[in-house]
Amino acid sequence: MRRIDKIIIHCTATNPEQDFNAKDIDRWHKAKKWSAIGYHFVIKLDGTTECGRRLEDVGAHAFGYNKRSIGVCYVGGVDMKGKPSDTRTDEQKRALRALLALLKNDFPNATIHGHNEFSKKSCPSFNVKKERYGN
């Protein structure tokens, strides 16, 4: 298993009426000539958590930080006008909290971050530090 020291949260930057899944994102990423979906987990609008890349495999989600991180992506992140917005459903919030608790159990020294801490993007469109996920 890889050494993991970060869990990085992302959004799909899609509006709250668009429900996508890991297979959709895999297709998008392969269209960019990536080998597969860049995230390890995807959380759908209804809170269903889907697997993307295997945890053993290096992700493609945060340039310069992929080797030692896990990428978690929720569907949404922009409003109907395309502006960054915390569009997480209650189900997504619960699923994200549960997934992060499991990951922290397996990787207790990993810290939790938003993608915007490593890139000039608004992703994941909410303040991860304020959520207090157990860093």
Set 39, 65, 74, 133: catalytic member: 39
**Is the four-CA dihedral 9, 53, 42, 18 of positive or negative sign?**
positive
Examine the residue annotation and report whether 115 is marked as an active-site residue of this protein. Answer: yes
Examine the residue annotation and report whether 10 is marked as an active-site residue of this protein. Answer: yes
Cis peptide before 84 (omega within 30 of 0): no
Examine the residue annotation and report whether 11 is marked as an active-site residue of this protein. Answer: no
Set 6, 61, 113, 115: catalytic member: 115
Set 6, 10, 44, 61: catalytic member: 10
Examine the residue annotation and report whether 73 is marked as an active-site residue of this protein. Answer: no
Which 8-state DSSP code applies to residue 79? -
Set 40, 61, 123, 133: catalytic member: 123
- Compute and round to an integer the Cα radius of gyration of the chain: 14
Examine the residue annotation and report whether 40 is marked as an active-site residue of this protein. Answer: no
Q: Which residues are catalytic?
A: 10, 39, 115, 121, 123
